[in-house]
Amino acid sequence: MSAAVFEVDGERFLPTAASRAGWYPDALHGGPVAALFAREVERVEAPVPMMVVRLTVDLLRPVPTRPLTVVTHVARSGKRIQVIDATMEAEGTLVARASALRIRLIDQPVPEHPRRDRIPGPESLPPYVMREAGGEWFHTRAAEARFVEGDFYEPGPATVWMRLAMPLVAGERPTPFQTVAAFSDFGNGLSRVLPRGWLFINADLTVYLHRHPVDEWVCLRSRTDIDENGIGVAQSELFDRNGAIGHALQGLVVEQQEEEGPGFRVPGSGSGV
């Protein structure tokens, strides 16, 4: 059984079974991909104290469960903002890319203003048991979920607390930013609006944060909108126990599935198209 989502072999990341998606049997869930990009972005030196405000991930193709490498490049660096580009390759093939925006941190008190309501914390909620609890996927092995509203297997909006149940990278404690990147990719699955037999895979993920989570728990309040053109958008409000921290958006490829396959087991587990 996996002890981490990724093992490390020199400059390569080795996906374990706990990284897998449900759409494809040999591909990663989008959450581990986003979280790994978040880890590499955090390791880039900043010229002044900064925070990652935006992370955009393009899932160019299903990310395979093969050794992965991530390369970062500082596209712009100044006293107020820094832009970092990153690419992910599997054995020489480009599979995903990312862009991150950092903004400088200062002590800037602001007047009282309207804020989004806090979400009740996870402590009083029971852990959610996935139907595929015996399977080796990211959502069954690496994630703990506690629902405030909605259900993973019922259509409609949902509000859920989530945290990592194992390290993202073996031997490391995941940072709050890595955690929020991992679970922001769950919005389409949490708030699906279509019944069994439909695919709604996200081709990208963008996370905006005005504050990083204070601990390992992240709450998503998610909903999905689709139209009769094969396109949808999933949007998630993001919270920690102190209140709102940001938003996440996913562009969805919507189509009817011709025959039953892995996508039926795990509604909405995105991993690229």
**Residue 197 confidence (pLDDT):** 85
CA 53 vs CA 48, 65, 132, 218, 242: distances in Å: 15, 29, 34, 16, 18
- pLDDT score of 190 more than 90: yes
Token pair recorded at residue 215:
């601990």
Task: Say if 238 falls within a structural domain.
Answer: yes
pLDDT at residue 254 above 80? yes
Instruction: Answer whether residue 161 shows pLDDT above 90.
Output: yes
Share the mean pLDDT of the chain.
Answer: 91
The domain total for the chain is 1
Residue 27 · residue 272 · CB < 8 Å: yes
What one-character-per-residue DSSP string does the chain give? --SSSEEEETTEEEE-GGGB-SSSTTBB-HHHHHHHHHHHHHTSPPSSSEEEEEEEEEE-SPPBSS-EEEEEEEEEE-SSEEEEEEEEEETTEEEEEEEEEEEE-----------PPPPPPSTTSPPPPPTTTTS-SIIIIIEEEEEEES-TTSSS-EEEEEEESS-SBTT-PPPHHHHHHHHHTTHHHHT--S-TTEEEEESEEEEEESS--SSS-EEEEEEEEE-TTSEEEEEEEEEETTEEEEEEEEEEEEEE-SS--HHHHSTT-----
With cut-offs at 50, 70 and 90, classify the pLDDT of residue 269. Answer: very low
Q: Residue 266: what pLDDT? A: 43
Asked, for residue 111, whether it belongs to a domain, the answer is: no
Q: What mean pLDDT do residues 197-219 have?
A: 95
Is 207 a member of any domain?
yes
The answer as to whether 245 is a domain residue is yes
Q: Answer whether residue 56 is part of any domain.
A: yes
- Quick one: average pLDDT of 240-263? 85
* Predicted pLDDT of residue 24: 75
Supply the range of the domain harboring residue 32: 6-105+121-265
pLDDT at 188 over 90: yes
Examine residue 113 and state whether it is found in any structural domain, yes or no.
Answer: no
CATH number, domain containing residue 38: 2.40.160.210
Q: Give whole-number Cα distances, 165 to 2, 6, 27, 47, 174, in Å.
A: 11, 13, 20, 33, 10
- Listing DSSP states for 117-153 in one string gives PPPPPSTTSPPPPPTTTTS-SIIIIIEEEEEEES-TT
Q: Per-residue pLDDT tens for 94-134?
A: 999 999 999 999 988 888 878 888 899 999 999 998 876 56
Question: Is 50 exceeded by the pLDDT of residue 267?
Answer: no
Residue 142 has pLDDT above 70, yes or no: yes
Q: Is residue 145 a part of any domain in this protein?
A: yes
> Given pLDDT bands bounded at 50, 70 and 90, which one contains residue 22?
confident
Instruction: Flag whether 12 is in a domain.
Output: yes
